[in-house]
Structure 1
Amino acid sequence: MKRSLLFIALLAIGTGLNAQNKKKQDQKAIKDMCGCYEVTFNFAETFEYSGDSTYVPSPVKHDKGLEWVQLVDDSKDKISLQHLLIVGPKEHPYIVKHWRQDWEYENTDLYEFDHDNKWTYKKLPKSSIKGQWTQKVFQVDDSPRYEGSASWVHIDGKSYWENTTSAPLPRREYTQRSDYNVTTRRNHHEITQNGWIHEQDNDKVIREDNKEDIVLAQEKGFNTYVKVDDSKCKAAQDYWSKNKNKWALVRAKWDEVFSRNTDLELKEKVDNKVLFKYLLDENAYQEKSEIDALIDSFVK
């Protein structure tokens, strides 16, 4: 009996240590996405299901840029990465505050995108997210985009994470198309020897209340991040040093909104202006009271 109890105790200790080591591998993989990267963005529509002879597929997109991925938060169960895109000539670069990705360990609070600027709050059972990380992706103004939970996989020298979730249209499509309103995103993030890749297999979906989803078309995305010397991204680092306090206030306000743990719906415009147009003005909205009031004005 004593031997059995000892075996169970040793097994529990071993399992706990393995879980801790796995978590450290996960954390390293996530933080390996930080740094300065030459990035390529590639998207191509693959299949079309509309049955409409006049349907026009989205054009193939090839783009590239220089991007700095800044480590914003590195705590026990949360890692936050801010992407900053560097555009324009080397002599006078312009910084675009790009998307942000937060990774939360064994997170039970999920905002699942529905459609038309609405997100459904879901409380996940602890048993379903054991050992998993939720990736939470945010717009340039730190408003929500999409979230999904899955395990990081480390095998055969590879580290990757995969998840399928609903998302709003990407900006490259949102400004061009109105024939669908949801993207079902199959995301694959994989760490490579020289950086990382973000691979996507997406459905373009028409979603309406109380109706089944209609898949209009599908697309393939393949974005590569090749690491270069950090000095090439100095302009983005300087931008973040100058503006990080403002964006900390913005994130704090959104955290307060998310902590309400209820369904969320956002207005597309206030006074005929979208949220990012307000917040990306570097000379405006520096104070907490102004930021809080602005974001509140967009929450229905």
Structure 2
Amino acid sequence: MKRFIFTLTLGSLLSTAFAQKSADIQAIKGQCGCHAITFKYAETFSPNREYKFKDRKEMGALEYVFVDEETPNKLVLMHLLVINDSTIIKHWREDWKFQNTDLLAYEQDAEWKYKALTAPQAKGQWTQQVFEVDDSPRYEGSATWFHADGRHVWDNTTDAPLPRREYTTRNDYNVMRRGNRIVITDYGYLHDQDNAKVLRTPDGEKIIAYEKGINDYHRVKEAACNSAKDWWTKHRTFWVDVRNVWGDLIAQKKGIQLEKKVDGKSLNQSLDDLSAAYLKAPKATAANKAEIKATIQKFLKNKELVGMK
């Protein structure tokens, strides 16, 4: 009798875990589609009474979000910006990994350190790994999806580089502590943020200001993003090779340190040059990855990465 009860209980647990994971995957995919987005940011409070709050920012965009790769424990979501129906910009990428124990933690000044989670810490959680336009690391965090009362929410706080809207105009802080809350809605999804702008020094850190961010994704007709689909068809092979080169480097668990510019160019500009050349004269994957690897190598400060000396 006891054995029967144990078997029944174990079966129920396995069934519950499967249902939870299935709901998680459905929620992650719920971010996909052609979206009209509004980005809104406002500073809300500062511990320094003399601090002068910066102007609020509000922007709009059309963005295509789609699953580019899927395995049982990983989903790769691509984000492509659509400008005037014809200009496409590879915006950013997010990898979702189930019960992932290997993370990169952002320090400051384009440096990420390897961080390990234990299996119990990662149990049932999904890591959202966010990557730059050039597929270099940006930020990542691990948390559990919650599904209750018709709501589907993932909530995590993690350190990140300065956002693009400020990294060329601000030098009073060097770390964005991002409170990321993803809420799946009936019209698309909401990226709700409660951020802290942190100045980190050898003596410690202090908060310069807090910020509220609201990125609201409203799904529109899929045809509005057809140009993005066509663009990705032409460019996918090159950028998947870039993604895989970065994957090999990150998998070495030695962290990443990057130069911002080499020979007057950013990494994104250098890879865009390679991409243009690839379109004119496609190469075999091995040759393409070798060129990509050599280009990324120029920007790496930590040359001790295997194969990068």
- Tell whether the structures are fold-level matches, with TM greater than 0.5: yes
Deviations 1:36-63 (A, max 9, x none): 01111000111123344xx443221111
Aligned to 1:61: 57
User: What secondary structure does 1:29 align onto?
Assistant: helix
| Equivalent residue letter for 1:163 | N
SS at match of 1:171: coil
SS in 1 for 2:204: coil
For residue 100 of structure 2, what is the aligned residue in structure 1? 107
TM-score (structure 1 length as normaliser): 0.95
CA distance in 1, matches of 2:246, 2:129: 13
Determine the structure 1 residue equivalent to 2:304: none
Structure 2: which amino acid aligns with 1:152? W
What is residue 21 of structure 2 aligned with on the other side?
23
- Look up the match of 1:147: 140
Select the residue among 56, 67, 70 that pairs with 1:71: 67
Aligned residues: 292
Deviations 1:147-190 (A, max 9, x none): 10000000000001000000000010101111100000000001
Match of residue 39 from structure 1: 37
Alignment partner of 1:208 is 2:209:
no
The aligned counterpart of 2:174 is: 181
Aligned to 1:228: 220
Within 5 Å, give how 1:1-300 maps onto structure 2. 3-52=1-50, 55-88=51-84, 90=85, 93-209=86-202, 211-281=203-273, 282-284=275-277, 287-300=288-301
The one-letter amino acid of 2:128's match is: Q
Report the 3-state secondary structure (helix = DSSP H, G, I; strand = E; otherwise coil) of the residue aligned with 1:73.
strand
Q: Which runs of 5+ in 1 are unaligned?
A: none
Give the Å deviation of 1:27.
0.2
Q: Which whole-Å CA distance do the structure 1 matches of 2:188 and 2:272 have between them?
A: 28
Gaps of 5+ in 2: 283-287, 302-309
SS at structure 2 position matched to 1:207: strand
Q: Which segment is superposed worse, 235-244 or 42-51?
A: 42-51
Deviation at 1:219, TM superposition (A): 0.6
Alignment identity in percent?
44
SS at match of 1:172: coil
Distance 2:213 2:192 in 1: 6
The code of the aligned residue for 2:246 comes to W
Offset of 1:263 from its aligned partner?
A: 2.4
Counterparts of 1:4 and 1:271, CA distance in 2: 71
Matched residues in 1 for 2:277 and 2:56: separation? 37
Q: Partners in 2 of 1:271 and 1:142 — Cα distance?
A: 20
Root-mean-square deviation (CA), in Å?
1.2
TM-score under structure 2 normalisation?
Answer: 0.92
Tell me how far 1:4 sits from its aligned partner.
1.1
CA distance in 1, matches of 2:167, 2:52: 15
Q: Distance in 1 between matches of 2:69 and 2:21?
A: 16
Q: Distance in 2 between the 1:58 and 1:72 partners?
A: 37
Deviations 1:230-274 (A, max 9, x none): 111011111100100000000000000011011221111111211
Query: Is the partner of 2:45 in helix, strand or coil?
Result: strand
Post-superposition offset of 1:279: 1.7
